Amino acid sequence: MSSSDIKITELKISGLSTTKAVVCEFDVVPQKIFQRQSNGTWVYTFGFEETERQMFEPMFENAIKQTMYLGFVILLNGETSLDNFKRQVMEYFWGVDRENQYINEYNIAINNLAPAGRSEVYIANYKRFLEERVFVLDKLESDFKNSNIM
């Protein structure tokens, strides 16, 4: 899938191209979006998409298709607030310094300091990051407001 095929309007795992986040596999989609743990942390699950996986069984000649659900599972610590959760989700997807990297590259591009042919890439990377960031943080905010956390 190329970056031009990304559909930001749908939360698809394959649509979050800049993430280094770990995708988890489930037999069924978890029922709760926010789950409180006994140690006071929260587990935030979202972004599930259905996929088929081929399972090979020694006793069968053909592969068996099994439906699986892939999604994100993020452990949230500290204060139970939307701002705290947003900060942790940003770190989960893009790490601490990724946004600064994109901003710096964007500034290099708009000031005509980028190596030949790199300006368009720097600008496109930053725009894609902003689109994905807005999408993920809007999803988190919506889920947070619709939950019974507070």
Per-domain boundaries in the chain: 3-145
Where do we find the tokens 């994100």? Answer: 72
Q: Tell me, what's the pLDDT at 44?
A: 94
Question: 64-76 and 42-55 as β-strands: parallel, antiparallel, unpaired?
Answer: antiparallel
Residues 40-63, mean pLDDT to the nearest whole number: 79
Q: Is the pLDDT of residue 124 over 90?
A: yes
Predicted TM-score (pTM) of the model is: 0.77
| 3-state secondary structure at position 38 | coil
Give the pairing of strands 34-36 and 42-55. Answer: antiparallel
| pLDDT score at 75 | 92
CB 93 within 8 A of CB 136: yes
Check residue 43 and give its pLDDT: 92
Tokens (6 digits) for 42? 């929260």
- Under the banding of pLDDT at 50, 70 and 90, the label for residue 49 is confident
**What pLDDT does 69 receive?**
83
